[in-house]
């Protein structure tokens, strides 16, 4: 969850003075998320470069503003009441590929498209990120949550991240400092402590035929197993030794719909915005899946998506509905 303290009128006035027209107010976040759900943010600012991103956060930290960083809008569920603070949309997308050292690498700003970066590397016969060509989201989101697929992940090739610290400014952190685990990192366990500005991945040279074969294989597997339509990606982390999709399907919830949200009939760990879904619809499906799986298997499903805003209202509404039924 995120801090929900309102921004004072004085602070809002100062932000208007600082950012001018770049500060958009009362912006509907559904327009910035891949699931197309979410209420308004008090303010929204777009960062076009890593330097702009650093400057924006430095200012917002000075005013102690509640702030949340958006990349592509995947992997987040924004509440219907929105976010009482400033959302920064990360459009810092510069990518540089270094072929001149013994170990080639790719450097990218945190708002760069992860799949696009991986494809650029593959076109230069660089291997190590083929798995990422099928994964939605940004480089910063992948670094934050240790995104992965097909037996690999971000930590496997990440060498260094450039971060902004509220006290110490810009720093370079080696991958070891991020303390990665399955869909987890120091960053994810300590949200809001630093901002990822850019990252460098070390890769290896491989035969183009071998790289292309992997790309084709991963793309075909992704298309055959994952649904089309508006979603936020995988809803739950896979429990150790098992799969969230298998558990949800085993309790008979595949295809279940609440309001405009539906558990995909193709892959039960994807929840689709099928018809004007609200965050409350999603939240009800999440709680239903958790309850059924817990009752049947004694397993507590852990969210992979990030919750943005206040979901206590949704929880109260669910309890009220259960009492009235």
Q: Could you list the active site residues?
A: 183, 234, 304
* CA distances to 38, 168, 236, 261 from 264, in Å: 20, 45, 13, 9
Q: Is the dihedral of CA 215, 216, 222, 227 positive or negative?
A: positive
Residues 6 or more apart from 59 whose CB is under 8 A from it? 15, 18, 19
Q: In 236-305, where do the E strands start and end?
A: 257-258, 261-263, 271-273
**Six-digit token string for 251:** 């309790």
Q: How close are the terminal C-alpha atoms of the chain, in Å?
A: 29
Say which DSSP state 251 is in. Answer: T
Q: How far apart are CA 151 and CA 223, in angstroms?
A: 17
* CA distances to 56, 90, 187 from 46, in Å: 9, 6, 22
**Phi, psi of 155, deg, nearest 5:** -60, -25
Q: Is 78:310 a contact under the CB 8 Å cutoff?
A: no
Among residues 68, 75, 122, the alpha carbon closest in space to that of 309 is found at 68
């Amino acid at each position: 969850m995120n801090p929900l303290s309102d921004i004072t009128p004085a602070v809002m006035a100062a932000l208007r003075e600082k950012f001018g027209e770049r500060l958009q107010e009362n912006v509907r976040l559904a327009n910035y998320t891949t699931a197309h759900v979410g209420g308004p943010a008090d303010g929204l600012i777009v960062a076009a470069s890593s330097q702009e991103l650093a400057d924006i956060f430095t200012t917002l930290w000075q005013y102690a503003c509640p702030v949340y960083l958006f990349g592509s809008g995947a992997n987040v569920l924004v509440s219907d009441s929105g976010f009482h603070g400033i959302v920064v949309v990360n459009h810092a997308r510069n990518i540089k590929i270094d072929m001149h050292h013994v170990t080639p690498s790719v450097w990218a700003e945190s708002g760069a498209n992860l799949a696009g970066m991986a494809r650029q590397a593959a076109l230069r016969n660089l291997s190590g990120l083929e798995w990422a060509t099928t994964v939605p989201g940004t480089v910063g989101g992948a670094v934050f949550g240790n995104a992965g697929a097909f037996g690999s992940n971000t930590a496997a090739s990440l060498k260094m991240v450039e971060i902004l610290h509220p006290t110490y400014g810009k720093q370079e952190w080696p991958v070891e400092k991020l303390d990665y685990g399955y869909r987890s990192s120091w960053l994810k366990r300590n949200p809001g402590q630093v901002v990822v500005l850019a990252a460098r991945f070390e890769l290896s040279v491989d035969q183009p035929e071998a790289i292309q074969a992997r790309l084709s294989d991963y793309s075909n597997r992704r298309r055959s197993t994952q649904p089309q339509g508006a979603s936020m990606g995988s809803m739950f982390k896979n429990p150790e030794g098992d799969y969230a999709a298998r558990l949800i399907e085993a309790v008979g919830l595949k295809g279940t719909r609440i309001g405009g949200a539906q558990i995909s009939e193709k892959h039960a760990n994807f929840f689709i915005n099928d018809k004007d879904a609200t965050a409350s619809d999603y939240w009800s499906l999440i709680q239903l899946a958790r309850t059924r799986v817990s009752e049947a298997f004694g397993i507590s499903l852990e969210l992979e998506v990030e919750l943005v805003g206040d979901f206590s209202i949704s929880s109260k509404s669910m309890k009220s509905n259960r009492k009235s039924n």
